[in-house]
Amino acid sequence: MERGRQLLELGRGTARHLSREPEVGLLPDAQDRRGPRGRVHGDRAGAHRAVRASFSGARHHGADELHRPPGFGRRLLGDFIKQALIVAKAVDAPVKLIWSREEDMTHDAYRPGMLHEVSGALDPSGKLLALRHRVVSPSHMLYIWPRGSFPDLKDWTEPVAPPAQYDTMAVEGLLAMPYEVPNQLISQHSLALDIPVSVWRTTGHGPNNFVLESFIDELAADAGADAFAFRRAALGRNARALRLLDTLAEKADWSRRAPADIGRGGALAAAFGGLIGCAAELRVSGSEIHIQRIVEVVDCGRTLDPGIASSNIAGGIVWGLSGMRTAMRFDNGRAAYSNFDGFEPLHLWETPASEVHFVQSDAPLGGTGELGPVPVHAAVGNALFALTGKRVRALPLSRSGYSLHADRA
């Protein structure tokens, strides 16, 4: 840090507590005298073995896995399994358990709030020389998979045990960023909370990308450089990321001067084995932010099914925008919202115009299911700065005095 000039040392709040709406069924077969068995709808049945065994005191004897639509991670939690086992053992008969939306929203595991402090330095030519990033966050995975449950996943479930001296998910996207930064220091402190927390779609990549890409934009502004030109220089010899950034600039008409009432911002992310770039256009009316257009470019290797991949990314855009709009509130330790009247996501009729483009490459296949929302928050925040000169340092946007709207194309 001494070779460059220190620019900024700022706190970033990314506290977003969001719920999901799964429907889960568990059918323990009480007539099977070999021991308890389960029939699980959702994610891998094996993820629930430890919960069943620890609760019932019996070793795992088997489970029948039924494939159902995704639950965005909610089915990883074992709370509903315990409930079903209590009832099944009491009545000695198969049971079916379904949580209502109200039950799930008030008893979910919420996305952990995170506090960031980030500082950086530029060399005399204005090129990125150093980054220091400190993260304070509860564990993303400890509530789902208690310590010792799955030895092959101890990087997630044992965040303070050797060899991992940090919660790997809490620093996702920071240890393997696309930029070539000669000097980096990433640190993380795990914080214990009484409120159950877990992953939201994007896992740790989403909140960390919001902070990182917002800060990259601040560095570019301080250097007096175009936001994409600054990123291009910071990418160095990363040919894959450079190609994606150039494609994003082309598809988003970055070289075209935006109208005076339109703000345009961008963000990059390396996540889930892929690369993604996002450009957002918006206008502001008082405290209302109106999203005009979202463009995302994705490199996930070969796109095996363009239709499904595009739907994943497009849905992720809407998911990401909804996450900027609202948050769960707690009154005296209890969730205050039980339905969408209080926790309001983006409606279908107000989703903005969006474009999804793919860059084909020889890179190994990457995921698209959680990739789409990752750069959305930073792109919108950077577009707001480009238009108003004001930075968003906390989410949801209401914490900065804004409300989010989208202008349907």
Question: For residue 281, what are the CA distances in angstroms to 266, 314, 354, 376?
Answer: 9, 16, 10, 11
Asked if residue 152 and residue 42 are part of one domain, the reply reads: no
Does residue 25 fall inside a structural domain?
no
Backbone φ, ψ for residue 228 (5° rounding):
-75, -35
Structural domain including 55 reads 38-98
Asked if residue 236 and residue 269 are part of one domain, the reply reads: yes
Asked if residue 166 and residue 82 are part of one domain, the reply reads: no
Residues 6+ apart with CB under 8 A from 233: 127, 128, 225
Q: Of 258, 275, 274, 232, which is closest to residue 386 (Cα–Cα)?
A: 258
Q: Is the pTM of this model over 0.85?
A: no
Does residue 5 fall inside a structural domain?
no
| Domain finish residue from 98, 124, 144 | 98
Asked if residue 214 and residue 92 are part of one domain, the reply reads: no
Query: Which stretches of the chain drop beneath a pLDDT of 50?
Result: 1-47, 58, 159-162
Backbone φ, ψ for residue 378 (5° rounding):
-65, -40
Q: What is the pLDDT of residue 138?
A: 87
Asked if residue 317 and residue 185 are part of one domain, the reply reads: yes
For the chain, how many structural domains are there in total? Answer: 2
Asked if residue 289 and residue 388 are part of one domain, the reply reads: yes
Report d(CA 136, CA 13) in Å as an integer: 10
Asked if residue 302 and residue 173 are part of one domain, the reply reads: yes
Does residue 13 fall inside a structural domain?
no
Q: What is the pLDDT of residue 62?
A: 54
Asked if residue 75 and residue 182 are part of one domain, the reply reads: no
- Alpha carbon 276 to its chain centroid, in Å, reads 13
Asked if residue 131 and residue 61 are part of one domain, the reply reads: no
Does residue 336 fall inside a structural domain?
yes
Does residue 262 fall inside a structural domain?
yes
Does residue 61 fall inside a structural domain?
yes
Residues 6+ apart with CB under 8 A from 363: 240, 273, 274, 299, 300, 301
Q: What is the CATH number for 208?
A: 3.30.365.10
